[in-house]
Amino acid sequence: MLGGGQLGRMMSMAAARLGYKTHIYCPEKNNPAEQVSYRATHADYDDIPALEKFAGEVDVVTYEFENIPVSTVEAITKTTPVYPNSKVLEVSQDRLTEKNFLNDLGIVTAPYEGVSSLAQAVDVLNDISYPAVLKTRRFGYDGKGQAIVKNGDDLIAAWQKLSSDKVIVEGFIDFDIEISVLAIRGQDGEIKCFAPVENQHKNHILDLSIAPARIDDEIRDEAIKQATKIIKEIDYVGVLTVEFFVSKNDPMLRVNEIAPRVHNSGHWTIEACLSSQFEQHIRAICGLPLGDVSFKGEARMTNLIGEDILKMPTLLNDPAANVHHYGKYEVRAGRKMGHVTWLYPDKI
C-alpha cells in the first residue's frame, strides 16, 4: 500500500480479515496504517531502489491517496500489478484533465476553462460569469487551493491567494445537496455501486454523511449510471468515488470530481453494509469476487476533527455509536482524527 493514512489503516484492517498481510510504503514514520499492518518501508516516493525492493516483496500494490507521483506507480508496474492503474491518476491529479475526460464521456460538470494568467481569467469570467470558483489544477483537497470570486472586485485577491499559473475557472453551482457514489470494479469487469450518500461539509471538510442520500429514485439511478460509465471507461480496478452536485432547479446532475480510492464519504459502509468499501477494494485488487453492497439500514457518519477526538469517552457511552480512532499521535486543528457511525439513527 502506497500511503500510510487512515484510509490505508482501514484497508489494512479489511485485508487482514481476508487473511492478507499489508506492507505500507510511505515516507512518514508512525503513520496510522502501519500500526495495524505487517510491515512498513519508510522511503520517498521517488526512491527507485526502495520502490523496486518493495515491489519485489509484495504480490499486488494499491494506494490510498491520489497525489502519488505517476512515475512511482509506473516504476512499480514494471514488476508488480498496481490497481487502480496509473491512467486514472493522471486524470484525477489535474482538474482540467479530469473535467475534459468527464465531458468527453458526456458527463456534465460545472462550466469550466483552464487559465494561466489573471488576464485570461478575466476573459473567461466574462463567459462563465459570477459567482465562480478558482481552483489550482493540481494538489487541491478539502477546499485548499480554491477561492470563490463573487464579483470582479475580489478577483485579484483570489488570484493572488492561489499563487499558481495553472488554474481552472469554474462556474459556481448553486446546489441543494452534494452526493457521492462509491463504485467498485473487479478484475473480471464486474461492477457494483453502493447507494448514493449525501455529504455535508463544514469549513470545506466533510462533516456529516447521510446514507442513503435523501434524493429521488431517478437521481439515484442516474448517479449510479454515470459512476458505472466512468469506472468502466477508465478500465479501473478497485473503489472509485464520484462526487455530484444535485440542484432542484437544474435538471442536470453535475460531477464535481472523482477520487481514485476509497473515500471519507464511504466510512458508513463499515457498519452499515455487508461488505465495506475497504473490503470491496481489497477484494477487487486481489482478484476476488466483489461483496454485497446492500445495506442493513440508514446510517450517519460524522468526522472527529481536531479536538473532537477528546469526546471519545462520552461517545463510547452511546451504545449506538461506532467509534473509530485513527491512532494519530498529535491532535491538530482541522486534522481528521477519527469518525463515528450511527446505524438506524433517529437524529444526531
Chain residues binding ligand AMP by CB under 6 A are 110, 133, 140, 143, 170, 172-173, 178, 201, 204, 256-257
Name 259's Cβ contacts closer than 8 Å, sequence gap at least 6. 66, 92, 240, 241, 243
Distance in angstroms (rounded) separating the CA atoms of residues 267 and 244: 18
**Minimal CA–CA distance to 39: which of 82, 52, 26?**
26
Least Cβ distance, residue 280 to ligand AMP (angstroms): 22
Rounded Cα distance between 222 and 217, Å, is 9
Of 114 and 140, nearer to ligand AMP (C-beta) is 140
Instruction: Residue 117: name the closest of 170, 172, 153, 167 by CA.
Output: 167
Residue 282 grid coordinates: 481489497
- Rounded to a whole number of angstroms, the minimum distance from the CB of residue 239 to ligand AMP is 17
Residue nearer to ligand AMP on the CB measure, 12 or 303: 303
Smallest gap from Cβ 141 to ligand AMP, in A, equals 6
**Of 178 and 279, CB closest to ligand AMP:** 178
DSSP state of 63: B
Cβ proximity to ligand AMP, 8 vs 111, nearer residue: 111
Nearest to 224 by CA among 251, 197, 200, 195: 195
Q: How many residues are listed for the chain in this entry? A: 348
Give φ, ψ of 340 to 5 degrees: -130, 135
In the complex with ligand AMP, the residue whose CB is nearer, 255 or 299, is: 255
Report in angstroms how near the CB of residue 77 gets to ligand AMP at its nearest: 28
Q: State the minimum distance, in angstroms, from the CB of residue 51 to ligand AMP.
A: 29
Instruction: Judge if the upstream peptide bond of residue 212 is cis by omega within 30 degrees of 0.
Output: yes
Specify the amino acid at residue 125.
L
* Least spacing, CB of residue 133 vs ligand AMP, in Å: 5
Burial readout 71-87 (b: 16 or more C-beta within 10 A, e: otherwise): ebbebbeeebbbbbbbe
DSSP state, residue 34: G
- Other CB atoms within 10 A of residue 307 CB: 12
Please state the closest distance from residue 135 (CB atom) to ligand AMP, in A: 6
Q: Which CB atom, from 143 or from 152, has the smaller least distance to ligand AMP?
A: 143
CB of 106 to ligand AMP, least distance (A): 19
Q: Considering beta carbons, is residue 149 or 290 the nearer one to ligand AMP?
A: 149
Q: Quick one: 31 or 241, whose CB is closer to ligand AMP?
A: 241
303/28 Cα distance (integer angstroms): 23
